[in-house]
Amino acid sequence: MAVDEETPLLVSTAELAHEVVYARFSLRQKRTISALVSCSALIPMFAGASFIPSIPEIARDLDSTPKVISLAVSISIFSSAVGSMIFASYSSYYGRRLVYLVGLPLLCIGSLGVASATTVPGLMWWRVVQAFGSSGGMSVGGGVISDIYKLTERGTAMGVFLAAALLGNALAPIIGGWVAHYASWRYLQLGLAVFGGFLVAAMLSYLPETSHPGMTGLEKAHADDTTRPPFRWVWLNPVASLWFLRSPNLALISFSSAAILVTEFGLQVPMAQTIGVRYGITNEALIGACFIPMGLGNIVGAPLAGWFSDRTVVKWRAKRGGVWVPEDRLRGAQIGAVLLVPLAMLTSGVATTYIPGPAGLALNLLCFFVNGVGVDLVLSPGSAYSVDVLRVHSAEVMAASAGMRSLLLSAAVAGILPSIEHNGVLATDALGACFAWSGFLAIWLVIRYGDRMRAWVDVGYSTVENN
């Protein structure tokens, strides 16, 4: 009899015993936890995306230039990379809940600082604090998702988590542009501080500790103590998580995510100078509205990619007679990396350069939507794969990946506007498409040679029994 994806898989006693840990929370609790961590992950996306359409007004307000103010985007990306590694390290030692209750107040303070900034250096500093405070949203949130959802559910859950987080990309630009045009960009920063305060209260009330029992560093340090371990401050090396990237598999997947995201930032950051100038759009609210198709693409693509990656895992595991090969999850990411993302980037460059009027603008908006879907078809399986192969250190590997991705992105973002000024929109977009194709090559290498590369360097990979 042929084995198909619906055939029940034979599982070991160890696997069944391990799955009990995922039954600690009810479905309703899991949804509440997912909603809370998704809101936390939404904030850095919202803060960044809402800042971009406000750049021209901020430059005028602070007597600067858009090129200088856009550096705040790169600086905040760098700050977020460092912060995500710090919060991920401490979330593995003290637990997930505590780091949220430390980071979110910093977000509120940073947002208040940005709202009151009167100089460019002051703006830059408070953007660093703001980004640092919100930086645990993605890395620790990914760890929480891995804590409460088992292997064959994790892709779907991760996709929903990313979709909710990327809702910021859909809402922030139009809200940020509208507020900047009709009121002041400072009010939006005050709104972020208020939202952060409400989220702190919600975390205090409804977020339990999700780390698996006995798995935090504090619990391991007091393994022989039958009472609740006392709180004791421990200095941790936040960049130690980068050591996981000595794994070729994780390094290549992190690079592919960065290469794919370069296209999204390449379309977003210069929008006022590309779409705005080319099609005569000067209203910040309308510039912000142009971001919506990309955000909608993210929202559509993330859960679709997560669901598809779970189905792929089940299907290929059944084909292999119950044998789990982690790289199977990445197979669905290839179409986004080789077709949707780079072709959307190239088409946008061609449309902006050669097609005037409503037709050119409409084609650009379609490209933004396709790019949003394609990016998530790569990011969602990639994030789930990284957690699959290193479940015990899920937050750290998410942070390491985000750190590498953010460092590459901060350098790329800083060069986008200068490249457009010197080389033009089409050449810059073509370079972004080439980055995307290099990301596809990285994914293909992991799918093709992943098992061999995992044998080269063992960083403590998970097995099906402890995943």
pLDDT one-digit tens code per residue, 241-283? 788 888 999 999 999 988 998 888 888 777 777 888 888 887 7
Give pTM, 2 decimals: 0.74
What are the structural domains of the chain? 27-214+240-456 (1.20.1250.20)
Tokens of 261: 């995201």
Q: Give the model's pLDDT for residue 467.
A: 62
Closest CA to 402 of 81, 69, 41: 81
For residue 293, pLDDT beyond 80: yes
How many angstroms separate the CA atoms of 453 and 456, rounded?
A: 5
Short-list 341, 345, 364, CA closest to 278: 364
- Rounded distance between C-alpha atoms, residue 369 and residue 294, angstroms: 4
If you write DSSP's letter for every residue of 224-239 in order, what string do you get? T--SPPPP------GG
Percent of the chain residues topping a pLDDT of 70: 91
- Per-residue pLDDT of 401-416, as tens digits, reads 877 777 787 777 778 8
Give the pLDDT mean for 378-394: 83
pLDDT tens for each residue of 33-67: 998 998 888 888 777 767 777 787 888 888 888 77
Least confident of 136-140, 192-196, 357-361: 136-140
CA–CA gap between residue 246 and residue 248 (Å, rounded)? 6
Report the distance separating Cα 300 and Cα 379, nearest Å: 13
The token duo for 198 is 């409400």
Q: Is 68 exposed, middle or buried (0-12, 13-18, 19+ CB in 10 A)?
A: middle
pLDDT surpasses 60 at 8: no
Mean pLDDT, rounded, for 10-23: 61
Considering the chain, what is the average pLDDT of its residues? 83
Name the residue with tokens 């902006």. 352
Higher pLDDT: 79 or 442? It is 442
Structure confidence at residue 170 (pLDDT):
65
Alpha-carbon 78 to chain mean position: 14
pLDDT (average), residues 438-444: 95
Cβ-Cβ contacts under 8 Å for 457 (sequence gap 6 or more): 246, 247, 248
CA dist 278 and 70 (Å) reads: 20
Q: Is the pLDDT of residue 164 over 80?
A: no
Q: Which of 71-80, 126-135, 354-363 has the lowest mean pLDDT?
A: 71-80
pLDDT band for position 112 (50/70/90)?
very high
